[in-house]
Amino acid sequence: MAANDLSGKAALLIGATTGIGRATARAFAAAGCNVAFAGLGAEEGRSLEAELREGFHIGTLFMEVDVRRDAEVREFMRRAVERFGRIHAAVNNAGTEGRFAPIQDTTAEDFERIIGVNLRGVWLGMREQIPHMLAHGGGAIVNTASMAGLNGIANVALYTASKHGVVGLTKAAALELGKSNVRVNAVAPGPVDTGLLHRMVGGHIDIATIAASVPMARVAQPQEIASCILWLCTEAASYITGHTLAIDGGITVG
């Protein structure tokens, strides 16, 4: 079996109805992997479920989940295990952009929502995924951070803080699990052509201006991030843990 072949295995994705998560679900399905995925938006979820089943002939499970609610995250994990038996890979991708504003103009509601989705959601996902993987001989977890988890970005302070938190969770978990055959990594995308980016900067910064600030002179497409997430979950990345992979066209190099 090739190092990047996941045929017959199962992946669990949280935050997969749109954007990077949706592209990641397609990438796992194309690799032959059964896919359990969660997110908000029943219509988007059902359409993706049909696309994966019909296009890739793999097993699927979709559940609408608010990642801030531990009971919903726990129930999704239970259903995925019931459906597929063992989960080999997990991706914690749910995220929200928050308000584009200086920190003094943000609110307590902004804080609770952004930290709740972007950081609490990742923690809740890992809290369910890790015991399962420990009990079944290992696995791979990938958390979606951001270049905002590596650098500071003005006017999205809460988003930046949440993504720094994701990087920290990833590092700590990797150290805790180093001897257990459970690998934990993160990806740190730069600007990606998704609804999140357009909502985040809409009315403030033109996408062309953002593209011009990237050394590669363009924003990424979701599938470019998805392919890296997939790779981190395969045996091709078997000696990588605790790493945050920047996928940013060179932005953080400077």
Q: Helix/strand/coil (H, E, C) string of 233-251?
A: CCHHHCCCCCCEEEECCCH
CA atoms within 13 A on the CB side of 11: 35
Which residue, 32, 23, 22, 26, is CA-closest to 58?
32
Residue 137: CB atoms within 10 A of its CB come to 11
- State the catalytic residues: 159
Instruction: Compute the residue count for the chain.
Output: 254
Q: Is 155 left (phi over 0), alpha (psi -120 to 50) or beta?
A: left
> Which residues make Cβ contacts (< 8 Å) with residue 33, sequence separation at least 6?
6, 7, 8, 9, 10, 11, 58, 88, 89
**How many CB atoms are closer than 10 A to CB 233?**
28
Output the six-digit token pair for 64.
């609408």
